[in-house]
Amino acid sequence: MKKNQLLYLSQADVAKAGLTMAEIIDAMEIMFRAKGEGRTEMPPKPGIHPEGDNFIHAMPAYIPDLKSAGIKWVSGFPENPAKGQPYISGLLIFNDVATGLPLAVMDCVWITAKRTGAASAISARHLARPESSVLGILGCGVQGRSHVEAMQVLFPLKKIVAYDLNENARKDFAADIRRNFDGEVVPVKTPREAVSGCDIVVTAGPMSKKPHATIQPGWLDEGAFASLVDYDAYWQPAAMHAADKFCTDDKNQFQTVRQSGYFPDIPEIHADLGELATGRKPGRETPQERTMTANLGLALNDMAVAPLLYQKAKEKGIGTWLDL
């Protein structure tokens, strides 16, 4: 019998595969429609919490429409950057839906960065004004960059306003973004400048069960959309209650996250992304509405991207084949 093998893709291999943000968004839109029509499987993610605020989560999912099955095993250790180690690390196993055999094991850091920006952009497709051209970013790290890339795919961006607590981070971010963006990039010194006057606002600073809640009611303009990537860390409860529509990516997972202490005071959830993608719940209905999403990050997102990476890597001869 022929030996079964799997393809191992390191962090460098994954980045080299050349998967574009537009391809990721397309695959995730198919997945969110399937999710909204009840054709996906995603049990709640179990986790372990070794010492302090650390987590390691198991995130399994199955998407029949994309012939994708597998699991991400991802850790977040907040003290790591101080030790010269990354906050997020982990591996994803991609399985054959016909046999269950593992087809690939891949580093999951790149996928986690890209799919989170893509999910916000898909939410924005339903909730932001289509002509949105000014993007405000608070938190100029990995997610800040991924969100610029994803929003550029779907919106005619002309200006990016960037705030970070760390002055060097916002300067580096502005320099990086200018390399691939023709419009204006404006690093700002106060968080309000990256909220008021923006059509789309992304908060991507650190998460905390004790939110700093900097953003006050009245800062987000009429007609604007906000993506709360760092959960409720940045927003005063009254600022979230000012939204006409408050959404998420998965209502069940949202309840679980609330039980663990996040989002103690939020408006009623209007819809999740499956309901928006299928049209079962309306997205934006008027140019004046203020809309928000707090996407939690789903195993389904990762498993929408994994088969594309596997295919690209195979086509380009990237990665290392290992015997099972």
Ligand X SMILES: NC(=O)c1ccc[n+]([C@@H]2O[C@H](COP(=O)([O-])OP(=O)(O)OC[C@H]3O[C@@H](n4cnc5c(N)ncnc54)[C@H](O)[C@@H]3O)[C@@H](O)[C@H]2O)c1
Contacts to ligand X by CB under 6 A: 87, 112, 116, 138-144, 163-166, 169, 204-207, 212, 229-230, 295-297
- Residue 210 is a catalytic residue: no
> Is 91 in contact with 112 (CB distance < 8 Å)?
no
Alpha-carbon span 130 to 34, nearest angstrom: 24
Which residue lies nearer to ligand X by CB, 93 or 108?
A: 108
List the alpha helices (DSSP H) in 107-166: 109-127, 142-154
- Shortest Å distance, C-beta 206 to ligand X: 5
109-127 vs 21-36: helix crossing angle, rounded to 10? 70
> What does the block give as tokens for 260?
């663990």
> What does the block give as tokens for 199?
């059509």
- Shortest Å distance, C-beta 218 to ligand X: 19
Q: Is the dihedral of CA 29, 260, 88, 306 positive or negative?
A: negative
- Shortest Å distance, C-beta 298 to ligand X: 8
- Shortest Å distance, C-beta 73 to ligand X: 15
DSSP secondary structure string for all residues of 265-285: S-PPEEEEHHHHHHTSS----
DSSP label at residue 214? -
Which residue lies nearer to ligand X by CB, 103 or 125?
A: 125
> Is 66 in contact with 27 (CB distance < 8 Å)?
yes
> What does the block give as tokens for 70?
């597998």
Which residue lies nearer to ligand X by CB, 52 or 100?
A: 52
- Shortest Å distance, C-beta 205 to ligand X: 3
> What does the block give as tokens for 244?
């006409």
Contacts for 309 with CB less than 8 Å, ≥ 6 apart: 9, 14, 17, 19, 104, 106, 111
Which residue lies nearer to ligand X by CB, 69 or 229?
A: 229
List 2, 16, 67, 72, catalytic entry: 72
Which residue lies nearer to ligand X by CB, 214 or 318?
A: 214
Give the residue numbers annotated as catalytic, written as ranges. Answer: 72
